């Protein structure tokens, strides 16, 4: 069965009973999330609640202490190569190699993903984001926003089913952020893939997300379903108040 | 908070001490034991050493003063620059307290050296007493060295502060790749192999190289021939470049691991892409070192042995570090 067929029939991402941390300190515990086709899932939560730790586990940067992660029905633990073929992750700008050019970063990502060439749609997006003039520049000479654009472009190499972004819109100018949000929405619809985004920005929940969850103290506190989000949108509800209500008595 | 910088430094030291693992303590104890063993083994020669040091007391004091002045002046520049950007910069402190606090922090290398001399003297005094050797020499040597260090601290205030330098991005010193802007992006890991060498060039700042070559150039009017100086500079350059390449490969190994972890890249392919060009540069440098040694009349066999040993050690070190970086991290 092809990946597309698997994704259409099954789940793009499945996290079962995940537990992870650093040293003896457990950061997240008993996290279970499922992402279906064409789904944009937003992870909200206060600083230090474990959002980045969860994403680090999903992208194999941190080995969890317990639980399982499946990407396009491939276990990340038992079959990491197949799982990562369907994964695109925008790393933090400071993780990008400072002494390679943007073009060379794209070459390395394309080779790792086993694609014959970087897709025309990706180059078109680079053009839209006004990134093309920086292709021959060394990463350490790029501004924060330009490096953020490069990180997102790298995550889209190989047209992955699952796109994982950690605060990816930080540092982007409003026009580029808008272009990128629309592109990502169109991409997951076309590819029947999924997007997992950790952010503090409620406007994405308001306008783009299919589902959203609040992570507090390493546990999922509340998950808004597609229907709940649509109801909030249709009633022009205050998303900040909804987040405060879901977060618990301290915020209320 | 009466002395915020000292209090913060104390807390940081306490936190670091709490983080030292059991292995750290074991290594420290072994080091102390080794030093004590050397001291006990050489205790009979202690009197002769002290007599020699006493005869050359002024020279020792002068050297101590120079080292102390350089160390304290450098630390003062660094600490003042750090403090200007520190989270404690805006905390209100009485001017007198701030001055004493800054003095204690900036002269820490000198204070540590005087404390170490005091401990050494306290350890040596009973040994000398048991041998009925000249304890007075110990006092005189201690006074010369401590006095030299104190003089160096005073001199350090006369050394002008260097101008602050904003370092350019490392890529400024890296050869620019020739590319055809219209060419398609070709998937390849070849850029990974360039990374360690580029990091080496980025660290080879022209100012640092110029400073490092000064002592060799100074030696020339003292009788060194131009040919010898050129060979020494070449050897120095090659060994320096190799050391930097080792460090670069180590740094790049960790950075590449963080960057490439989410990619479906075969570990062996990444390892090969990073390692082979670095091995090539190390092997070429070692061959050049062997040739230069031949020029300075070292035997064929010795030159070949030095070249081969350097190459093997360099290649194995780099390979081991890259393998170490490739290990998975697990929560206990």
Sort A147 into a burial class: Cβ within 10 Å, 0-12 / 13-18 / 19+.
buried
- Total-model pTM: 0.74
What order do you get walking across the sheet with A39-44 strand by strand? A87-90, A162-166, A194-198, A39-44, A211-216, A219-224
- Nearest by CB: A138 against B171, B259, B265: B171
Give A 114-173 residues with CB within 8 A of chain B: 114-118, 135-136, 138, 140-141, 164
Which residues in chain A have Cβ-Cβ distances shorter than 8 Å to B168? none
| Boundary of a domain, candidates B156, B177, B209 | B156
Please, which contacts does A168-173 make with residues 24 or more away whose CB atoms are closer than 8 Å? A168/A90, A168/A197, A168/A199, A169/A199, A169/A201, A169/A204, A171/A93, A171/A144, A171/A145, A172/A145, A172/A148, A173/A145
Residue B276 placed within a domain: yes
Residue with tokens 């909030």: A232
Query: Looking at the partner chain, which of B189, B255, B262 has a beta carbon nearest the beta carbon of A59?
Result: B262
Indicate yes or no: CB of A91 within 8 angstroms of CB of B169.
no
Binary contact (B171, A118; C-beta < 8 A): no
Strands A66-71 and A13-22: antiparallel
Q: Average of pLDDT values for B164-174?
A: 73
Instruction: Indicate the residue among B100, B132, B156 that finishes a domain.
Output: B156
Residue B160, pLDDT score? 82
pLDDT truncated to tens, each residue of chain A (252 aa)? Answer: 444 444 445 789 999 999 998 878 889 999 999 999 999 999 998 888 999 999 999 998 888 989 999 999 999 988 999 999 999 999 989 999 999 999 999 999 999 999 988 888 999 999 999 999 999 999 999 999 999 999 999 999 999 999 999 989 988 999 999 999 999 999 999 999 999 999 988 888 888 999 999 998 889 988 988 888 888 888 877 777 777 777 765 554
- In order of B72, B93, B98, B153, B181, the CA distances from B159 in angstroms are 10, 27, 21, 10, 51
Query: In this complex, do A112 and B198 lie within 8 Å of one another by their Cβ atoms?
Result: no
Residues B96 and B199 in one domain: no
| Domains identified in chain A and CATH numbers | 1-86+162-168+194-252 (3.40.50.300)
Is the distance from CB of B144 to CB of B57 less than 8 angstroms? Answer: yes
Flag whether B163 is in a domain.
no
Residues B147 and B50 in one domain: yes
For residue range B19-28, list pLDDT tens digits in order: 777 777 888 8
Average pLDDT for residues B244-259, to the nearest whole number? 87
Domain that holds residue B260: 191-325
Q: What percent of chain A has pLDDT over 70?
A: 94
B260: left (phi over 0), alpha (psi -120 to 50) or beta: alpha
Q: Are residues B319 and B197 in the same domain?
A: yes
pLDDT over 50 at B277, yes or no: yes
Kindly state whether residues B147 and B255 are assigned to the same domain: no
Considering the domain architecture, whether residues B116 and B49 belong to the same structural domain is answered as: yes
At B144-160, the pLDDT tens digits run 999 999 999 999 998 88
For residues A56 and A63, give the distance between their C-alpha atoms in angstroms, rounded to a whole number.
Answer: 8
Q: Is B180 part of any domain?
A: no
Do B96 and B234 fall within a single domain? no
Does A112 lie at the interface with B, CB-CB under 8 angstroms?
A: yes
What residues of chain B lie within 8 A of the CB of A114, using their CB? Answer: 187, 264
pLDDT grade, residue B222 (50/70/90)?
low
Lowest mean pLDDT among A180-194, B118-132, B262-276: B118-132
Per DSSP, the three-state class of A33 is: strand
In a domain, B251, yes or no: yes
pLDDT band at B1 (very low <50, low <70, confident <90, very high): low
Beta pairing, strands A219-224 & A211-216? antiparallel
d(CA A191, CA A212): 21
Considering B137, B156, B175, which residue would you say is the last residue of a domain?
B156
Tell me the pLDDT tens digit for each residue of A136-164: 999 999 999 999 999 999 999 999 999 99
Q: What is the pLDDT of residues B312-323, one digit of tens each?
A: 988 898 888 888
Q: Examine the domain organization and report whether B225 and B289 are in the same domain.
A: yes
Q: What is the mean pLDDT of chain B?
A: 84
Q: Give the per-residue pLDDT at A176.
A: 95
Q: Which two tokens stand for residue A233?
A: 């949108």
Same domain, yes or no, for B140 and B255?
no
Say if A97 is an interface residue toward chain B (CB within 8 Å).
Answer: yes
Residue B245 covered by a domain:
yes
Question: For residues B93 and B4, is the Cβ–Cβ distance under 8 A?
Answer: yes
Is A195:A184 a contact under the CB 8 Å cutoff? yes
Nearest to B264 among A85, A100, A140 (CB): A85
**What is the number of domains present in chain B?**
2
| ipTM value | 0.84
DSSP state of B266: -
Q: Which residue of A has its CA nearest to B194?
A: A100
Q: Nearest-CA neighbor of A51 among A184, A229, A214?
A: A214
Rounded CA-CA distance B33/B13 in Å is 24
Mark yes or no for CB contact B171/A114 under 8 Å. no
């Amino acid at each position: 069965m092809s990946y597309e067929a698997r994704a259409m029939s099954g789940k793009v991402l499945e996290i079962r009973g995940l537990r992870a941390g650093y040293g003896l300190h457990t950061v997240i515990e008993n996290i279970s999330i499922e992402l279906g086709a064409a789904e944009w899932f937003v992870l909200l939560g206060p600083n230090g609640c474990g959002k980045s730790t969860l994403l680090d586990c999903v992208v194999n940067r941190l080995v969890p202490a317990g639980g399982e992660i499946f990407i396009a029905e491939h276990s990340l633990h038992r079959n990491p190569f197949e799982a990562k073929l369907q994964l695109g992750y925008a790393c933090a700008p400071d993780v990008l190699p400072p002494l390679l050019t943007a073009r060379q970063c794209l070459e390395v990502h394309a080779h790792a993903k086993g694609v014959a060439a970087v897709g025309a749609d990706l180059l078109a997006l680079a053009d839209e984001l006004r990134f093309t003039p920086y292709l021959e520049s060394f990463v350490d000479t790029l501004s924060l926003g330009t490096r953020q654009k490069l990180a997102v472009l790298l995550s889209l190499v190989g047209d992955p089913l699952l796109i994982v972004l950690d605060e990816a819109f930080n540092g982007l100018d409003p026009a580029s952020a808008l272009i990128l949000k629309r592109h990502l929405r169109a991409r997951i619809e076309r590819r029947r893939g999924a997007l997992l985004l950790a952010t503090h920005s409620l406007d994405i929940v308001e306008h783009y997300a299919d589902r959203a969850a609040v992570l507090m103290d390493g546990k999922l506190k509340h998950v808004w379903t597609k229907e709940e989000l649509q109801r909030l949108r249709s009633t022009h509800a205050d998303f900040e108040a909804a987040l405060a209500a879901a977060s618990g008595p301290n915020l209320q | 908070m009466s002395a915020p910088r000292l209090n913060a430094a104390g807390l940081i030291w306490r936190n670091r001490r709490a983080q030292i693992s059991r292995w750290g303590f074991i290594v420290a104890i072994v080091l102390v034991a080794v030093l004590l063993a050397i001291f006990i083994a050489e205790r009979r020669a202690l009197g002769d050493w002290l007599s020699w040091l006493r005869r050359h007391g002024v020279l020792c004091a002068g050297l101590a003063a120079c080292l102390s002045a350089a160390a304290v002046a450098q630390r003062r520049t660094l600490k003042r620059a750090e403090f200007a950007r520190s989270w404690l910069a805006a905390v209100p402190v009485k001017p007198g307290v701030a001055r004493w606090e800054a003095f204690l922090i900036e002269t820490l290398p000198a204070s540590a050296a005087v404390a170490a001399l005091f401990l050494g003297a306290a350890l040596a005094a009973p040994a000398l007493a048991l041998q009925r050797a000249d304890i007075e020499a110990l006092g005189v040597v201690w006074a010369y060295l401590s006095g030299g260090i104190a003089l160096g601290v005073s001199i350090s205030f006369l050394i002008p502060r260097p101008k602050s330098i904003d370092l350019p991005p490392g890529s400024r010193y890296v050869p620019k790749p020739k590319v055809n802007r219209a060419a398609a992006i070709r998937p390849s890991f070849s850029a990974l192999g360039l990374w360690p060498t580029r990091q080496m060039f980025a660290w080879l700042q022209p100012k640092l190289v110029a400073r490092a070559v000064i002592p060799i150039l100074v030696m020339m009017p003292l009788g060194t021939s131009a040919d010898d100086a050129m060979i020494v500079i070449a050897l120095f350059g090659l060994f320096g470049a190799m050391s930097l390449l080792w460090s670069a490969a180590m740094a790049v190994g960790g950075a590449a691991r963080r960057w490439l972890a989410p990619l479906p890249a075969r570990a062996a392919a990444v390892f090969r892409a990073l390692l082979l060009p670095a091995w090539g540069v190390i092997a070429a440098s070692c061959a050049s070192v062997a040739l230069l040694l031949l020029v300075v009349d070292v035997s064929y066999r010795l030159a070949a042995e030095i070249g081969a040993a350097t190459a093997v050690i360099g290649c194995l070190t780099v390979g081991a570090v890259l393998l170490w970086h490739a290990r998975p991290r697990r929560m206990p």
